[in-house]
Amino acid sequence: MVKKNDLTKKLLYLFLYIVPVYIILLFLGIGILSAQELELIVLKPLQDYNYDELTEEEISQGKYFELLDEQGRQITITGRRLYVDDEYIAEDNKHYRVFKVEGYKAYARLQGIVKLNPPASLSQNLSMDSEVRTRVVSTPGQELEQEKEGELRKAIAIYHTHNAESYVPTDGTHSIDGEGGIHEVGRAFQQALEAKGIKAIFSEDLHTPHDHGAYRRSRQTVLELLEQEPDAIFDVHRDAAPPEAYATKVDSVPATQILFVVGRQNPHMEVNREFALDLKSISDQIHPGLVKGILLAQGNYNQDLTPLTLLLEVGAHTNTRESAENGITLFADSVGHYFYGTEGEVEGEETPPGQTAAQDPPAGGREIWGGIVRIVSVAILAGLLFFLINVGTWEDFKRKYAPRYEILKKEFSSAYEGRGEIIGNTVKEVQKEAKDFAAHLRQAGTRGNFRKNYLPRFEKLRDELSSAYERRGEIKDHTLKNVRDEVRRFMEQIRRKVK
């Protein structure tokens, strides 16, 4: 009979194991909470928190956030709140990270210079790849859609989370209840895309008032836009800053610069960042100076719903709306060229559909991964229960099974002793070849070129690895058979002890 003391110990161990597993499953929402319930509990309170912008009262007092380098020199100025660990990639591609915030001043340390290497001409690469791309749209119950990379839908979605945003010199105020001047900028974007034969899905749904709940309200708009399967989604805003912060001229045309904003609190952050960098690299080629920079800021901005989405700050409230419309019209050239090779084309001209430079990462369905995690979790819990009920304490386990473990360890060591001598030199050669291969790969411009130049190299590496491992199998087969037999005997002994 199990002593009461031992039973209490085992129940305590069981509690300590099960509670963390339950918490993990709870937060993953696997088998316990649906995706919608998890979003209500975890994500929406984060969206309701006012991460991003200064209040109207602060802006009316002329207060802005200054981003300064370690010597106190101004890098940029914005109406967005800055926090420690926010990052900024400037127009000249210098990469800064905020390490200190004092009042309305954020101090950033230079991390280096981001090297952008766009393809020489995306339009040359548009029809080269016929592989199948998996696009994942994070709407509840929606299945994975398979489509060929050469068959993009040629559709871009546009919406405004902050509908009231306006431009003082043109609209007479920085904020208009309902449709502010920012809607005219969105329409200009729509018209510029449509002039290139690109379908522009423009949602003018209102998410007013302009408060910290606006992103929660606009989330439904994003989900509705995703049902129309656009290739990318842009949330168009305007910043709050002095006019000189955004005013520029591009090809002698008065315009405002555009700031890309990527939310750091979303699972697609790295992909969003690469998307922003790719778009900046294309814009820098077509219209140098149009993109002001990339801000990686606190917040989510509904960018967790799809990786190819960006928040655009098109000028500031102190710039004219006409210059903002000019800026967004020029930006449409970059979007068209990046996705479809349509930069400079007129309406009605057909363009081969293309692939984006920033690929959506391959992803599986939530249900598949949920099933895998459930199975693994049940197996782990079952193993823990078996251990606690039949083995006893950790000391009992070590006393009973440590000798067996040593025997198994020696068997495996013996099985692998000769492997190093056989393949050591070959592995070094393969490693050197792989390094050379990776260096050349960084310089590759297109997937077509990659296949043409490096597929034979890959075949050679594969053959070398196959040859290196052929003899290893001869050495270890017999020993592994002995190990398997030993493991079977070991497990049979445990079963007899349980019975």
Measure CA 437 to chain center: 26
Q: What is the mean pLDDT of residues 127-143?
A: 37
The per-residue pLDDT for 393 is 65
Domain 86-95+107-340, CATH class in plain words? alpha beta
The per-residue pLDDT for 445 is 53
The per-residue pLDDT for 486 is 77
Which of the four pLDDT bands, split at 50, 70 and 90, describes residue 392? low
Could you tell me the two tokens for 123?
């339009």
In the predicted structure, residue 293 carries a pLDDT above the cut 60: yes
Angle at 216 between CA 214 and CA 221, to 5 degrees: 90
Specify the 3-state DSSP secondary structure of 317.
Answer: coil
The per-residue pLDDT for 139 is 39
Whole-angstrom Cα distance, residue 329 to residue 313? 14
Higher-scoring residue by pLDDT: 17, 121 = 17
In the predicted structure, residue 351 carries a pLDDT above the cut 50: no
Could you tell me the two tokens for 125?
């690469």
In the predicted structure, residue 283 carries a pLDDT above the cut 80: yes
Q: Strands 105-113, 94-102: parallel, antiparallel or unpaired by DSSP?
A: antiparallel
In the predicted structure, residue 258 carries a pLDDT above the cut 80: yes
Whole-prediction pTM value? 0.59
Whole-angstrom Cα distance, residue 468 to residue 484? 24
pLDDT, tens only, 295-346: 999 989 999 999 999 999 999 999 999 999 999 999 999 999 999 886 544 3
Position 263: which residue type? G
Percent of the chain with pLDDT over 70: 62
| DSSP states along 394-445 | HHHHHHHHHHHHHHHHHHHHHHHTTHHHHHHHHHHHHHHHHHHHHHHHHT--
Q: How many residues belong to the chain?
A: 499
pLDDT, tens only, 157-179: 999 999 999 999 999 999 999 99
- Please tell me the least confidently modeled range out of 36-50, 129-143, 185-199: 129-143
Whole-angstrom Cα distance, residue 103 to residue 304? 30
Across 44-48, 194-198, 210-214, which has the greatest mean pLDDT? Answer: 194-198
What are the residue ranges spanned by the domains of the chain?
1-33+369-392, 86-95+107-340, 394-498
Burial class, 165, CB count within 10 angstroms (exposed 0-12 / middle 13-18 / buried 19+): buried
The per-residue pLDDT for 440 is 66
Q: Which of 310, 335, 299, 191 is nearest to 259 (CA)?
A: 310
Whole-angstrom Cα distance, residue 462 to residue 437? 13
Which of the four pLDDT bands, split at 50, 70 and 90, describes residue 189? very high
